[in-house]
Structure 1
Amino acid sequence: MRQLADIPHPEAKITLFSWNGKYLIKLERGPFEQTYKVSEMDVTSEDDVRALLDDEFVEAAVQRFTQMRQDLQAAFSRHDL
């Protein structure tokens, strides 16, 4: 796996990788991470992948991190942990 870029963003760490014929977009926030795989056949360049990371996409991912945290907390609560 080859790291192509760190993309600065105030809400999450965003890293772009290339691996096995795919671009991997990895977003991290605290203990949670999301990875999106985009086939190199679906885009023409790394710039196309960066274009996918518009405000709407990143905001949805940030909201998903909140839901992930809530889901984990709920599981802990269900099992009295």
Structure 2
Amino acid sequence: MRYLKDIPHQQLKIGLYQWNNKYIIKIESGLYEQTYKIDDYEVESADEIEKCMDEAFIRAVMQRFDEMHGDFFGSLQRNHVLF
């Protein structure tokens, strides 16, 4: 996987990569990460992908991180890993 660049954001770490004829957008927040892939022939350049990191998308990503956190910690508690 080839690192292309970081996409600046105040709360999230967003990295753009290229691998196997795909762009890979890796978004990290604390313990969690979300990955999105798009075929490189679907866009003209990596800059188009950066434009897609708009407010509505980021808001949805952050909501999903909250849901992931709830799911994970719920499982840890149900299975008596955390008390």
TM over 0.5: yes
Map 1:60-75 to 2 at 5 A: 60-75=60-75
Identity %: 43
Cα distance, 1:71 vs structure 2: 0.4
2:2 is aligned to 2
Q: Using structure 1 for the length normalisation, give the TM-score.
A: 0.94
Q: Using structure 2 for the length normalisation, give the TM-score.
A: 0.92
The C-alpha deviation readout for 1:2-56, integer Å capped at 9, x for no partner, is 1111111112100000111000000000010000001112111111111111111
The 2-side partners of 1:74 and 1:58 are apart by 24
CA contact (8 A) 1:32 1:65 kept: yes
**After TM superposition, which residue ranges in structure 1, 4 or more long, deviate above 6 angstroms?**
none
Unaligned runs of 5+ in 1: none
2:11 is aligned to 11
Map 1:2-81 to 2 at 5 A: 2-81=2-81
Q: What is the identity, as a one-letter code, of the residue corresponding to 1:5?
A: K
Unaligned runs of 5+ in 2: none
Q: How many residues align?
A: 81
